[in-house]
Homo-oligomer: A and B are copies of this chain.
């Protein structure tokens, strides 16, 4: 089969690799029908050192079960399924508390050992704990939105949960990428009264407004903080969702949050420690977040997608075939595209 391999920063190729086969009785083989490129894939695209043998890429996909190991019960051949970006057994103490990303017997797609989502098929370990059946056909018009359950919509929701968004919250979302946009959807869904998006790209801002953003702040640094303070009655935001991962973004989060407020970190940290301020301690600010246990949120979010109440699939503004994945990386990295879907 064909699959995407990254060899170094900027060096992404689609190449022939061995077809996946059942290894454990908990495995399933999934033939992929939709996948996508993640904002987090852009970090290695910018930074990865040359790696002999490369690294298989992709962690967001929908597909059809082709074969299952002896002990798999929850899915069967022919089922259309969505996979979260971490696979997990669904039964360990972390899974039971809803933290599937820390599963004692789980892991992540791709790398050197396992298939990635940006390929024609994957071997899925822990299939019973990982895969969730979709109650629609593989060409349903809801495919883009259902695909976001694998990562970005669950991640945006996780940020809103970690930032303790609730009825009436005043919220700041830092970053206008696909995760930031999904955080806007999630926050509105949870009842936020004011949703301030910090971003500066016209197309993304338009989508954020369509999703429920009430205010846009395009200034950065101190000017951005000043503007948010003005918009929040001088006190700052109850909740901040940080969707970038840079030190500057975290410093902004730390300066726009109000006393007693919470910051939900989603961006993969490219900084040491947590760059909060001394005032954040005296203000009793909470910092939470991390990789979303997307698996935990699928059942909660899917009904809203099926009913059309949320449309996170609108973050996809480009659809490509597998052979065009290298150009898809380039387009996202150049901000030509918000998020790229791969259709098989």
Nearest CB to that of A262 among chain B residues? B288
The verdict on A4 contacting chain B, using a C-beta distance below 8 Å, is no
A293: chain B residues within 8 A (beta carbon): 284
A281: chain B residues within 8 A (beta carbon): 265, 268-269, 289-291
A273: chain B residues within 8 A (beta carbon): 272-276
A162: chain B residues within 8 A (beta carbon): 284, 286
Q: Could you tell me if B284 and A286 are in contact, using CB atoms closer than 8 angstroms?
A: no
A265: chain B residues within 8 A (beta carbon): 281
A316: chain B residues within 8 A (beta carbon): none
Task: Annotate A229-264 by CB proximity to B: 1 below 8 A, 0 otherwise.
Answer: 000000000000000000000000000000110000
Interface centre among A275, A284, A289, A293 (most CB of B within 10 A): A284
Question: For this complex, into which size category does the number of interface residues on chain A fall?
Answer: 20 to 34
The verdict on A33 contacting chain B, using a C-beta distance below 8 Å, is no
Stretch at the interface among A48-56, A94-102, A118-126, A190-198: A94-102
A287 CB contact (under 8 Å) in B97, B260, B274, B282: B274
**Contact residues of A between 85 and 131, Cβ < 8 Å to B:** 94, 97, 99, 101-102
A289 CB contact (under 8 Å) in B268, B269, B284, B289: B284
Complex Cα gap A162–B284 (Å): 9
Task: Annotate A136-157 by CB proximity to B: 1 below 8 A, 0 otherwise.
Answer: 0000000000000000000000
A307: chain B residues within 8 A (beta carbon): none
The verdict on A336 contacting chain B, using a C-beta distance below 8 Å, is no
Q: Closest 6 interchain pairs by CB?
A: A284-B290, A102-B259, A274-B274, A286-B288, A99-B260, A273-B273
Q: Would you give 26 A-B contacts (Cβ < 8 Å), ordered by A?
A: A94-B259, A99-B260, A99-B284, A101-B282, A101-B284, A102-B284, A162-B284, A162-B286, A269-B281, A272-B273, A273-B273, A273-B275, A273-B276, A274-B274, A274-B276, A281-B289, A281-B290, A282-B290, A283-B290, A284-B290, A284-B291, A284-B293, A286-B286, A286-B288, A287-B287, A288-B288
Known pairs A101-B284, A274-B276; list 4 more (Cβ under 8 Å).
A101-B282, A265-B281, A273-B274, A274-B287
